[in-house]
Amino acid sequence: MSSPSNVSVHRHGHVTHLRLERPEVRNALSAELVSDLHAALLALRDDADTRAVVLSGAGKAFSAGADLRALRELGAASSEANKADSARLAALLELIYTFEKPVVAAVEGAAVAGGAGLASACDLVVAGEGARLGYTEVRLGFVAAIVMVFLLRVVGEKHARELLLTGRLVSAAEAWRMGLVNEVVPDGGALERALTLADEVARNSATALATTKEMLALVPGMGLSEALRYAVGVNAWTRTTDDLREGVSAFLEKREPAWSSDVSG
- Coil, strand or helix: which one is 199? helix
Read off φ and ψ for residue 14, nearest 5 degrees. Answer: -90, 10
- Contacts of residues 255-260 at CB distance under 8 Å and 24 or more positions apart, as own/partner, are 257/205, 259/205, 259/206, 259/207, 260/207
Read off φ and ψ for residue 170, nearest 5 degrees. Answer: -115, 150
Which residue is catalytic, options 80, 137, 162, 246?
137
CA pair distance 135, 184, nearest whole angstrom: 19
CB neighbour class for 250 (10 Å; exposed up to 12, middle 13-18, buried from 19): middle
137 is a catalytic site residue: yes
H-type helices in 203-223, by residue range? 206-218
The residues that are catalytic are 137
